[in-house]
Structure formats: structure tokens, C-alpha cells
Amino acid sequence: MYACTAPPLSESPRTSYNARMPNAHDAPQVCIASHHGSFAELLADAEFRAAAERPDGACLVEFRVDAFADRSEAKLREALVAFTPQRCVVTYRSPEEGGRDANASDETRLAFAKTAVQAQAAFVDLEVATFARLGDRARGVFADRKSTRLIASFHDFEAVPVYDRLHALRKQGEALGADVVKIAVQPKAIHDASPLLDLLYATDFAKPLMALAMGEAGFWSRVLGPRFPQPAPFTFARGEGAPGTAPGQPIWRELLELYRFRRIGPATPVYGVIGSPIAHSLSPAMHNAALAALNLDGVFLPFRVDGEPAAFAREIAPKLGVRGLSVTIPHKETVIAAAAEIDPLARQIGAVNTLVARGGGWFATNTDAHAAAGSFEEAAGGEGALNGKTVLVLGAGGAARAVAFGIKARGAEVWLHNRTESRAEKLAQDVGARCVKREEISRQPKALLGVINTTSVGMHPNVDATPLAASEIPQGSLVFDTVYNPLRTRLLELAEGRGCRTLNGLKMFVRQGAEQFRLFTGRPAPVEVMEQVVLQALAKRG
């Protein structure tokens, strides 16, 4: 039916650092889409002006002419000169494909396109449908272009058309003489974007494809464009605090600084975190900072995965070049189905938080267990400190399983308490622990070395909640709250008041990420950098 060569799952090249250092001219650019209501507003926007004037040429600015109340060809010429035409993308979108000028005629829009071509704007965007309607008149305008490149575009804000339709649109765009074909579609879930991914690997095309999947489920498409066989010359972004012109547009600075967009190329290893929700995950900030600190080629993305995570790992991830995945709520158990090989402890735990591409399949492991148990053991006095000691674990979810197995492996006797007793009983049976009731905790059993909270109680935004009242916290014990947002939970405040030593969830979070980083890249993680980035991100959230 169609020619398409999506790659198999491949491992990270262990020493592939600094593999691609493109020069300023061939590196992909970030195009900041204007959100302004007029040319005047755009011209007065210092952020856009500064971005366009960057000496490294990293940024383009898109003029969305259809949204400008003061639009005229003279104003367009003036703005092109002000921003430098070679840094400008000119778009006068048709109302049928999301343009804001309901009365825009094809002829008017073509006249603006002609002005942009004459002024040698870097790119002019015209819809495939418009181009087809205008026929030779449009051909004539673009036949005369000098440095300007024509983008033939298609937008569907509702869904992802089937592969054959996308293929036909790309063919049509190329036949019209476009230099770049742009296809923007709206997946409801990450799996919906499969036809778009297949189109990116189709082998019967000559021109670059800018394939954009809008919304959180399509975030990958905003970042990974330069990784596909016929890479698009730029990606779209929004200004700081701006709404953007399409759902899911990242902030331009994030693309350049966090995701190091200009360094992404066909061989760049991709890593990521899968979960739902995922937008607030700290893992992308932490892992990208670590990759940058070691000057490694690689990028780490948040993947919003709803539904079947194992299908994502098996079918979608290889096409995205993914070689390592962090796994978070709610996928830690179900993703195991994707694994060809499982670490024995992770198998016992019944939950994994890490997938690593190995030998053509996924190796699954759980770095939470050692991170939690190691942090707690260290705070308790170091190696052997848990041996023969009793520790109360609050919770019976994924984190509780990792913690319970982790401390058990270090010799602790585990007591369990959970809101839903049946879950605690199941975990107690699996790990070899004892279930305790709330009344028993209140009686302040002398045997306890410490308490580990693995419930989500006290986590942002319910920061006043605590899994134990002050009177239930064993005096003088070691209290570890795995929650890290906020770092100082109500439980830890109360514990301090009871003369307890306390430990927050930061060390565990950084440790589990550091071990993932080592498994992903084969290099020891820059732990201090990772911790600093997480602290900064948490401080920013307030």
C-alpha cells in the first residue's frame, strides 16, 4: 500500500555524546507564533524583537496576518523590514483552517503572500486547499520567489485523518511546488497519531514534512521534528505567557534551553516519562539538565499516555526513537506487559518505573525501591542500619510496594497500614509484612525505628492533610515522607514537633532518576545538578 520504514527499537549508543553540533545555519529553528491583535502590538513586543535579532539565528517569528486588526500590505512590508525578512514566516490563514479573519478572500490572502515573497520573507504559508483553488494564480506568485520558501499546509483541529488521506495531502503539497509540507492534526490520545508517524517515515517523498500533532498528546511532534528522515526546518512555539496559536505549543525558550532543540538530529537518543497527567512531571527538567551537564546527545520528553502504556512502548516509542522511559502514575503496573525482561526485584514488587531498550526489547526495572530504601537507610545511620529493625509503611499503592520490598531487602521488619485494608493485606502477604491497625499505631509501639509515608496524603494541593495525627507519630523516630511536593509536608512538621528526625522525598526522587539516567546513558548521573534543578522547579511552583 505505502512505503514506510519506521525503525526498530534500538539501544542507546553508550558513548554518543556531543554527536551533533550543527552550525547556526543548518540547525533547526524555533518559530515563535505571534499572538498579537495587530502589527503595532507585534512590533512593540520586546520579547519577539529580541528573539528575532538573536545572533545565532535560532528564532523565526510568524506573523499571523489574519489576527491583525491593522493589516495592510504596507504594514506587512514595514514589519518584515523591522524584523528582517529572513527571520519571518508570513501566514494569512484561511477561515476554514482556523484563520481569524472570517471575510478573508483567497485573492486578498494571495496578495499578502505576494508582498511577502517580494520582500523575501523566509517562509510563506498557504493552505494546500487554497493553493489548489487558486491554481495558476498562486503558482505565478511563487514561481517568482527568490529566497522565500513555500509551506503548503493542512490543518484538522478535530481529529487525525486516516493515513491515505494524509499521504494524499502530502503528495498534493509537493505537486504544488511546496518546499515544505505542513500537516497539523488533533489526536485525542497519543496512539491516534500513528498515521502521522507513519507519514513521517514514508519513503516516497522529496520535501521536508512538518508533522504537528496538537495538544498534550502530541507534544513529541513539537520537539522531535529534526529527528525524522526529512526534517522540517523549524518548529512552532509560543512567547512567554502567550496562549500560542495552536494547542500544545511549547514556550520557545524551553525548546532552546530545556530541550536543546537545535542539537536534535536523526541520531539523537530520545528518553521520556509516560503518565497521565504528565504536564507537571519534574522528570523532563531533571533528565534534560543531566544530559546537558554531561554534554550528551539526547532529549527527554513528557509523553501523555492514556490507555494502554504497553502498546505505546511496543508500537509508538520505537518510531519516536525512544530508548529509555520513566514510568509514572497510573502505568507502573500495566506497562510490565511490554517488557521482554524484568529485574527480579521489580517482578516481586509487581510495578516498574523504568524501561530500557535492550537487545531489541524492553528491560523493565524499579529504581524507586533502592532509591527509597537507600535514602532511608542512609538517614538511619548507613549500611546495615535497617537490619532487624521495624519500620511502619503507610500506604499500599505502587510506591508502598517499592518501599516495602526495598527495606525488606535491607533486613527491615515491615509493618503496613493503609486506608483500604484489603490492599495492605495483599501487600503484607506478598512482601512478608505485618498489617497494623490505626489503634495500634496510636499506642506508640516502642519497637518502631521509623515511619515511611507512601500515600499521597499531604501532597500539593492538599498540603494541610497528614496521614498521621501528631499523637500517632512515634516520638523520636525517623519519619520519611516520600511526597516531594511540597518538600516540607504537614507530616514532617508534626514529626519535628515530636522530636523526630525527618527526611523528605527529594533524595528518593533524585536517586530514582539518577539510576534511570545511568541505565539510559551508561554514564553516572550528575546528581547535584539534578537535585538543584528539582529544587529550583519546586521553588518556582511555590
CA pair distance 519, 325, nearest whole angstrom = 10
Q: Which stretch binds ligand NAP (CB under 6 A): 75-83, 87-95, 449-457, 534-542?
A: 449-457
354 membership: H or E segment, kind and range: strand 354-358
Question: Which range of residues in 19-27, 199-207, 319-327, 418-426 is near ligand NAP by CB under 6 A?
Answer: 418-426
466 binds ligand NAP (CB under 6 A): no
The answer to the question of residue 396 lying near ligand NAP (CB under 6 A) is yes
Backbone angles phi and psi of 450, in degrees to 5: -170, 180
The DSSP annotation for 98-155 comes to T-S-TT--HHHHHHHHHHHHHTT-SEEEEEHHHHHHHTHHHHHHHHT-SS-EEEEEEE
* 64 vs 72: CA distance, rounded Å: 12
Q: How far is the CB of 182 from ligand NAP (least distance, A)?
A: 39
User: Among all residues, whose Cβ is closest to ligand NAP?
Assistant: 397
148 or 276: whose CB is closer to ligand NAP? 276
Residue 503 in contact with ligand NAP, rule: CB under 6 A? no
Question: What is the SS3 assignment for 238?
Answer: strand
Near ligand NAP by CB under 6 A: residue from 153, 418, 466, 489:
418
- Residue 483 as a binder of ligand NAP (CB under 6 A): the answer is yes
The residue range among 44-52, 381-389, 429-437, 506-514 that interacts with ligand NAP, by the rule CB under 6 A, is: 506-514
What is the distance of C-alpha 446 from the center of its chain? Answer: 46
Which of 2-10, 112-120, 444-452, 504-512 is the region at the interface with ligand NAP (rule: CB under 6 A)?
504-512
Secondary structure (3-state) at 240: coil
Residue 276 binding ligand NAP, by CB under 6 A: no
Nearer to ligand NAP, 124 or 457 (CB): 457
- State the amino acid at position 128 in one-letter form: V
Query: Where would I find the H helices in 177-325?
Result: 194-200, 219-223, 252-253, 283-293, 309-311
348 interacts with ligand NAP by CB under 6 A: no
Least distance between ligand NAP and beta carbon 541 (Å): 14
Residues that contact ligand NAP, how many (by CB under 6 A): 24
Residues contacting 394, CB < 8 A, separation 6+: 400, 417, 418, 451, 452, 453, 454, 455, 467, 468
DSSP 357-379: EETTEEEEE-HHHHHHHHHHHHH
The residues annotated as belonging to the active site are 155, 182, 332, 368
DSSP SS3 for 91: strand
For ligand NAP, the binding residue among 99, 231, 321, 398 (CB under 6 A) is: 398
Kindly state the smallest distance separating residue 78's Cβ from ligand NAP, in Å.
Answer: 53
Report the candidate in 199, 239, 196 with the shortest Cα–Cα distance to residue 30: 239
Nearer residue to ligand NAP within complex by CB, 459 or 533? 459
**Which residues partner with 123 through β-bridges?**
89, 149
Stretch that binds ligand NAP, among 18-26, 96-104, 379-387, 507-515 (CB under 6 A): 507-515
Residues 512-531 that bind ligand NAP (CB under 6 A): 512
Distance CA(92)–CA(104), nearest Å, equals: 9
Q: Is 368 in the site for ligand NAP (CB under 6 A)?
A: yes
Nearer to ligand NAP, 11 or 333 (CB): 333
Rounded CA separation 492/500 (Å):
9
How near is the Cβ of 347 to ligand NAP at its closest, in Å? 18
The CB-of-274 to ligand NAP minimum distance in angstroms stands at 14
Nearer to ligand NAP, 56 or 528 (CB): 528
Comparison of 43 and 529: residue with beta carbon closer to ligand NAP: 529
* Residue 242 identity: A
What is the closest distance, in whole angstroms, from the C-beta atom of residue 435 to ligand NAP in the complex? 13
For residue 131, state whether it binds ligand NAP (rule: CB under 6 A). Answer: no
Provide DSSP, 331-342: -TTGGGGGEEEE
Assigned C-alpha cell, 270: 530520545
Task: Give the separation between CA 362 and CA 487, rounded to whole angstroms.
Answer: 33
Cα 261 to chain center, whole Å? 13
Compute the least distance from the CB of residue 485 to ligand NAP, in Å.
Answer: 7
- Candidate segments 161-169, 208-216, 428-436, 456-464, binder of ligand NAP by CB under 6 A: 456-464
329 binds ligand NAP (CB under 6 A): yes
Distance CA 416, CA 532 (A): 33
Query: Between 183 and 202, how does the x/- string for binding to ligand NAP read (CB under 6 A)?
Result: --------------------
- CB of 263 or CB of 507, closer to ligand NAP: 507
Cβ–Cβ under 8 Å, residues 61 and 87: yes
By CB under 6 A, residue 460 contacts ligand NAP: no
Of 138, 81, 149, the closest CA to residue 114 belongs to 138
CB 157, min distance to ligand NAP, A: 34
393 sits near ligand NAP (criterion: CB under 6 A): no
CA torsion 391→392→394→397, rounded to 10°? 50
Q: What does the block give as the cell for 290?
A: 543531566
Q: By CB under 6 A, is residue 438 in contact with ligand NAP? A: no
436 binds ligand NAP (CB under 6 A): no
Instruction: Please identify which residue in the block is written with the cell numbers 554534554.
Output: 295
Instruction: By CB under 6 A, tell whether 373 contacts ligand NAP.
Output: no
Residue from the set 455, 489, 516, 521 that interacts with ligand NAP by CB under 6 A = 455
- Residues contributing to the site for ligand NAP (CB under 6 A): 329, 368, 395-400, 418-420, 423, 454-457, 459, 482-484, 505, 508-509, 512
